[in-house]
Amino acid sequence: MIAWRSRLTAGLVILAALKVHAMSTADVPNCPLGMLVFHGSAAAVDLLLIYAVPALVVGRLCDDMQTLCLVSIVVNFIGWILYMAYAPPVIFDVMSWSLCYVQFGRLLIVDVDDVDSMGLHLVRRPDHVGA
């Protein structure tokens, strides 16, 4: 069972990781080595989130959040490749912000097993279901 407090905490941890990474890499120079540091440190933050998420949420939500962090690592690698290929930065920006919206949106999706712990008794299930 995943209560809304766990989801809120997970969202705040992810948001804090985004902000801390943005502030710590604000002065990184716009050169190949600087962008390797930027994208590499973003991938390292995602790796830390992969290990932190199980302490916050469980079940399918944990698996989905870890999968999205793995996708973010791949997106950061693609972002560095795109930088090295002189592609416009809007491509990486759209990919990374879209992934952030998907991560925060996934925190809002309630699974069938989470209904009782979230206080959402909207649909009654028969007693024999899940028994």
State pLDDT tens for residues 37-64: 999 999 999 999 999 999 999 888 899 9
Answer whether residue 130 is part of any domain. no
Answer whether residue 117 is part of any domain. no
Give me the number of domains the chain comprises: 1
In the chain, pLDDT over 90 holds for what percent of residues?
71
State pLDDT tens for residues 53-92: 999 998 888 999 999 999 999 999 999 999 999 999 999 9
Answer whether residue 122 is part of any domain. no
pTM of the model: 0.81
Sign for the CA dihedral angle at 17, 48, 4, 60 comes to positive
Answer whether residue 120 is part of any domain. no
Confidence check: pLDDT of 27 > 90: yes
Answer whether residue 115 is part of any domain. no
Q: Whole domain around residue 90: which residue ranges?
A: 4-110
pLDDT at 108: 86
Q: Give start and end residues of each alpha helix (H) in 1-121.
A: 4-24, 32-56, 59-84, 90-108, 115-118
